[in-house]
Amino acid sequence: MDSTSNIQVTEHGATAYLTLDRPATRNALTHQLMCELDEICRDLRQRTDLTTVVLSGNGPAFCAGADLNENLFFSPDIPADERADVGNFGGEVIQFWERLPQITIVAVEGFVVGGGLTLALSSDFRVFARNAFIYVPEIDLGSNYGWNTVPRLVAYAGPARTKRIVLLAEKIYAEQAETWGLVDFVVSEGKALARATELADSFAHKPRLAVRTSKRAINAVSNALVDVASHGDMVQSLACVASFNERPGE
């Protein structure tokens, strides 16, 4: 498996290691990065020799969310249907990642924002450094939270806590996120990737087919209504952003 310009890929034993590699932007997500993740997922889906996939970020943070400088989705100069296609594609890649047969583990240092949190919530396990936090600023940017994320958040944390995360844009640190059910393991700063590797190694000798079929069964139940509950959320985002940009006097 080859590395790409925005995602570095290495393999060790039965584990593939993916590293978001845009450290100057705190690994912000661009359309090109999501295209690369889509291709990587297509390759991983065929790899019966790989049991686990570990995802981390290069530098002091896991992911700063969508790269607002790219402007493919937020730019009014791009036709609305093309912007909707870009937004919907991102959600489709997230679903593709979530449906990988391998066990997916995300290692978070620093922080994870917006779409990066969506990627983390769509993984099987989340390992956070103790100083790491989650942050969803979409409302303050004039948009709803897309990529089918809201029903995932509600399933993990409940509606009241989801409102604190999404509507109030509270920063939720690792230990609180663990209490809320959003994080599986909290470790010392700088140790998230090492703990994720240990977790990956624990699957090395488990019966592969049993693990894969069990993951699929669990996800089938927990995600049954995700698309129904948030269908069209990116089209809604376009309307929200347009309304935000048209505020009188601003």
Can you say whether residue 107 is alpha, beta or left, with left for phi > 0 and alpha for psi between -120 and 50 degrees? beta
Q: What is the mean pLDDT of residues 231-247?
A: 79
Burial of residue 207 (number of CB atoms within 10 Å: 0-12, 13-18, 19+): exposed
Separation between Cα atoms, residue 195 and residue 7, nearest integer Å: 21
Residue 4 has pLDDT above 70, yes or no: no
**56 vs 234, more confident:** 56
**Dihedral angle sign, alpha carbons of residues 63, 64, 65, 66:** negative
Domains of the chain, by residue range, sit at: 7-191
pLDDT in tens, 113-133: 999 999 999 999 999 999 999
Residue 71 has pLDDT above 70, yes or no: no
Residue 170 has pLDDT above 70, yes or no: yes
What is the chain's length? 250
Query: In this structure, what token pair is assigned to residue 198?
Result: 């240990």
Residue 250 has pLDDT above 90, yes or no: no
Residue in this structure with the two tokens 């679903």, named with its chain if needed: 95
C-alpha closest to that of 92 among 147, 30, 43, 45: 147
Question: What pTM did the predictor assign?
Answer: 0.92
C-alpha closest to that of 37 among 58, 51, 19: 19
Burial of residue 74 (number of CB atoms within 10 Å: 0-12, 13-18, 19+): buried
Separation between Cα atoms, residue 149 and residue 227, nearest integer Å: 10
Residue 249 has pLDDT above 60, yes or no: no
The band of 73, judged by pLDDT with boundaries at 50, 70 and 90, is: low
C-alpha closest to that of 104 among 177, 5, 184: 184
Fold entry, domain 7-191: 2-enoyl-CoA Hydratase; Chain A, domain 1 (3.90.226)
Task: Give the pLDDT score at 239.
Answer: 82
Task: Cite the beta strand spans of 25-117 per DSSP E.
Answer: 52-57, 103-108, 111-113
pLDDT in tens, 158-168: 999 999 999 99
Sheet holding 172-173, edge to edge: 111-113, 133-135, 172-173
Least confident segment among 152-161, 181-190, 225-234: 225-234
